[in-house]
Amino acid sequence: MLRRSLLALAACLLSLCGRAAPVPDTLAQRALACTGCHGKEGRAAPDGYYPRLAGKPAGYLYNQLLNFRDGRRDYGLMSELIAPLSDAYLKELAGHFASLDLPYAPPQPPALPAPELARAEKLVRSGDAARKLPACTACHGERLTGTQPGVPGLLGLSRDYLNGQLGAWRSGQRQAQAPDCMATIAKALTGAEINALTHYLAGRPLPADPHAAAALPGPAPMRCGGLQP
Amino acid sequence: MMRRLLIGLTALAALAALPLALLAWQRNLSDTTPPPAAPVSLTRGAYLAAVGNCAGCHTARGGARLAGGRPIPTPFGTVFSSNLTPHATGLAGWSADDFWRALHFGQSRDGRLLLPAHPVTNTTLVTREDADSLHAWLQAQPAVDAPRRAHELRGFYGSQLAIAAWRALYFKPGVYRPDPARDTAWNRGAYLAQGLTHCSACHAGRGALGGDQGPADFRGGLLAGLGWTAPSLLDPLEAGVQRWPDATLQLWLRDGQAGAHAAQGPMAEVVLGSTAALNDADLAAMSAYLRTLPEQAVARPEPAKADLRRRERGAGLYRDHCAACHGEQGEGRLDDSGNPAYPPLAGSRLVTQASPTNLIRVIERGGFAPATAGHPRPYGMPPFAGVLDAADMAALASHLRQSLGHAAGDVDTVEVLRLKAAAAVH
């Protein structure tokens, strides 16, 4: 008993009691408020609902923070959490997650017949000119890993998340600064096409170089509000 | 027979005339305000609009500044704020006299009585020269086309008669009268806190009809539809600052954080939209006033029945989810630059306030202190809504309120569910 008390006293004197050890004064420490939902270091939550943040282009992440704060995207917990933060701080937090270079989880094997996956691949690579649908690759990059500074990659995301976002664009639940080109595209796609696309995208492994491309592969096929400088 | 009929008819007529008389009375209040003592100043108007946080209610999320449209939840339904910009859908063509009537008498240009969601018991205290400067500044803002959305109030709550009745009970027009027993700074603080910054709009203790005991009613109460409680400013165990050092309060009002004290939720919004803009003299004045408010303890409701197993479960949850940041003993943590990162929970008023509303709210939805010029990179807490259910939150709250030297009373699951339901009322 006495021994335990003495040990406790010694620990106290070594300041193990009273205040706990200080935390590092870093953005990573501050970002722990985000990773509670978005998974360790922003690698996505295991349930697939909260997407990966790590390694997404900084401009894209920053735009999404503004969209949540200003009501163009609607998720109460997220909007409320960042409501009291300044543009400058949100930009710093976006930059923090963008700078993380972390391995990706393995893809989800697609459960669709090959012809449907082939149709999805054709949409991804070539779009459908007759319906004014651009190829995904025209903005999201030949490798589908996104383009700097504002277009996110489409790989390394769960099928549930991809379905959720395309559905939210169709219903108007998710919006971007006008003109909202992804809303136009999502509304032009059929339900079957979205299903095939998300099976295809969630089923593809990341390429050897998983980083976002430096720039769009060519002239942008549409004008997108979120990409204006 | 004839005589009785006559009496009956007269009584009926009097009864029918009463509402009309009530309306006529409230719409034609006489004005005894002294004329403006200073010329109009746009700089002053801009400052007063910032400090008064007009844009806080009169701007929709992501919408044009001051163009209105923000939903304001009240116990009587949802009110939508109006457009204050000089557009035909807003205040275009409003004279200084029209604007004065709105602030001082809570009346629109056409004579209609404004809903008390516009804090008329506070704005009536504003002087004529301040009102005129505010008016001039608002009229100089860009005009935005934004028609007002119709209010969504239940029953007769939005009717002119209901407003007139409410005003007869709770509203007395009149500019702030300085207390001669107090100095200039104190009176300036009282003028701001009771008037333009309308602290009592949230911090009043409201009755069932939404009435308060005047612009210095700071008894605190639940903010229906917001899911927060505005704690009493009269009780030092709630949010009273009577025992705070002057410098701490001034820093807190300006930066939203002073030492371990951080503004949370709606108050973080108030710091960003209002008190961060206070100049040094007004910060000092506000502090002088708030620190001398009379002390009055709030009534503490009977807590849930003590349940040792629930508290034990809470202690386990604390170790798993909270201790890493807030410390094993709730002592809080600094960062390695010496700034407070995670506040101590031992001795925290947010933990021990009479109502567990804010504690539950923060556990459920996390939060950041406001990012202000003086405190630009606050640390934050993640939401635990997806991790802890109502029974977990009750357990954790009970543990926190009954350990760490606290004896604030247990919280049961029903209480957590009740608070969550109150937060959803619109």
pLDDT tens digits, one per residue of A131-166: 999 999 999 999 999 999 999 999 999 999 999 999
Q: Which residues of A190-226 are buried (b: 16+ CB within 10 A; e: fewer)?
A: eeebbbbbbbbbbbbebeeebbbbeebeeeebeebeb
In angstroms, rounded to a whole number, what is the distance separating the alpha carbons of residues B389 and B411?
14
pLDDT higher than 70, residue A10: no
Residue B7 has what pLDDT?
A: 83
| pLDDT of the residue at A16 | 42
A26–chain B nearest CA distance, Å: 9
Q: Do A82 and B368 touch (CB under 8 A)?
A: yes
Q: Specify the residue for token string 């096409």.
A: A193
Q: Does the beta-carbon distance from B366 to A18 stay under 8 Å?
A: no
Size of interface A-B (CB pairs under 8 A): 111
Q: Span A39-54, mean pLDDT? A: 90
Which residues in chain A have Cβ-Cβ distances shorter than 8 Å to B376?
Answer: 86, 88-89
* CB distance B230 to B240 below 8 Å: no
Residue A100, pLDDT above cutoff 90: yes
Report chain A residues whose CB lies below 8 A from the CB of B271.
84
CA distance B124 to B104: 4
pLDDT of A36 reads 93
Chain A residue with minimum CA distance to B60: A70
Q: Which fold has domain A25-102?
A: Cytochrome Bc1 Complex; Chain D, domain 2 (1.10.760)
Q: Do A19 and B333 touch (CB under 8 A)?
A: yes
Cβ <8 Å between B380 and A89: no
**Tokens read off for B328:** 């094993």
- B341–A81 CB contact, under 8 Å: no
Distances (CA, A) of B171 to B75, B107, B138, B189: 19, 12, 25, 22
Indicate the CATH number for domain A111-229.
Answer: 1.10.760.10
Cβ of B61 within 8 Å of Cβ of A72? The answer is: no
What average pLDDT is seen over chain B? 95
Chain B contacts of A33, Cβ < 8 Å? Answer: 366, 368, 379-382
- Could you give the CA distance from residue B416 to residue A72 in angstroms, rounded to a whole number? 30
**How far apart are the C-alpha atoms of B51 and B197, rounded to whole Å?**
6
Closest CB to B336 among A25, A27, A33 = A25
SS3 B182: coil
- pLDDT at residue B1, as a whole number: 65
Which among A23, A71, A89 has the least Cβ separation from residue B333?
A23
pLDDT at B88: 98
Q: What is the pLDDT of residue B425?
A: 56
Q: Does B143 touch chain A (CB under 8 A)?
A: no
End-to-end Cα spacing for chain B: 53
Please answer yes or no on whether A23 and B331 come within 8 Å at the CB atom: no
In whole angstroms, what is the distance from residue B383 CA to residue B362 CA?
8
- For residue B196, what is the DSSP state? T
Residues forming CATH 1.10.760.10 domain(s) in chain A: 25-102, 111-229
Contact A169, A182 (CB under 8 A): yes
Partner-chain contact A19 B331, CB within 8 Å: yes
Average pLDDT, chain A: 90
CA distance linking residue A27 with residue B335, whole number of Å? 12
CB contact under 8 A, A72 and B62: yes
CA distance B184 to chain A (A): 33
pLDDT beneath 50: ranges in chain B: 426
Query: How far is A29 from chain B, CA to nearest CA, in Å?
Result: 8
Query: Which residue from B minimizes the CA distance to A74?
Result: B61
The residue behind tokens 């003495």 is A6
Which positions in chain B touch A69 (Cβ < 8 Å)?
61-62
Q: Tell me, yes or no, if B34 comes closer than 8 A to chain A by beta carbon.
A: no
**Which pLDDT score is estimated for A13?**
41
Distance in Å, alpha carbon of B334 to nearest chain A alpha carbon: 5
CA A104 to CA A109: how far, in whole Å?
15
- Enumerate residues 6+ apart whose C-beta is below 8 A from A125: A135, A136, A137
Contact at CB, B62 and A88, closer than 8 angstroms: no
Quick check: A19 pLDDT over 70? no
Among the partner-chain residues B268, B369, B382, the one whose CB lies closest to the CB of A36 is B382
Q: Tell me which chain B residues have a C-beta less than 8 angstroms from the C-beta of A92.
A: 377
pTM value is 0.92
